[in-house]
Amino acid sequence: MLFTDATILTETPPLRACWSLVGHPAEVPVTGNRDKTVLFGALNPATGTVWLDEAPKWNQYTFQEHLRNLRAAWRGWSIVLFLDWGTPHTAKASRQLAADLGVELRFLPTACPERNPVEGLWRHAKGRVLANEPTPDLDDSLGRVCEALFEMTGTERRRLAGVLSGNFWLST
């Protein structure tokens, strides 16, 4: 059993906190650059093992590459993949590829991101790892997120994902 989701990293990271002297406006540098990259993530809720794939866009072709990578990483395993109803996931070609690869797709309820534990990893990445940095390089941001997630133990990833909360909706 795996959960998968994607997030978009932009060149201008989220601003969560800022300070300045009283009476002086805070400077918030913005480059005007709208570069972005997509980070696909898959989490095994039983072990906390994570798989990450970077892609230039979020579309059915990049999702299908993510499926191929998951199958290669978990070769020989029966994979049940929980995911949302995003268009790349529901595309006929994506569903067919999943069937061909022996990956069973299980779609989560619409508008319920809290059901997908990968969302907790994205919240951590954007709220702790990337937040409040003055427009870092996009490749640097991607590297920092991947490094932060890979340096964690499986238990730490499971805790961040909410799997260990006692309120997780699916018993593992």
pLDDT, tens only, 163-172: 888 777 776 5
Q: Is 39 left (phi over 0), alpha (psi -120 to 50) or beta?
A: beta
Q: What is the average pLDDT across 122-146?
A: 85
Q: Which residues contact 83 (CB under 8 A, 6 or more apart)?
A: 3, 4, 5, 89, 105, 106, 107, 108, 116
| SS3 state at 138 | helix
pLDDT greater than 80 at residue 116: yes
- The whole-angstrom separation of Cα 148 and Cα 161 is 14
Domain 2-12+33-161 has CATH 3.30.420.10: yes
Instruction: Round the average pLDDT of the chain to a whole number and report it.
Output: 90
pLDDT in tens, 60-115: 999 999 999 999 999 999 999 999 999 999 999 999 999 999 999 999 998 888 88
pLDDT for 112: 82
Enumerate the domain spans of the chain.
2-12+33-161
pLDDT for 49: 96
pLDDT for 13: 67
pLDDT for 25: 84
Rg value, the chain, Cα: 17
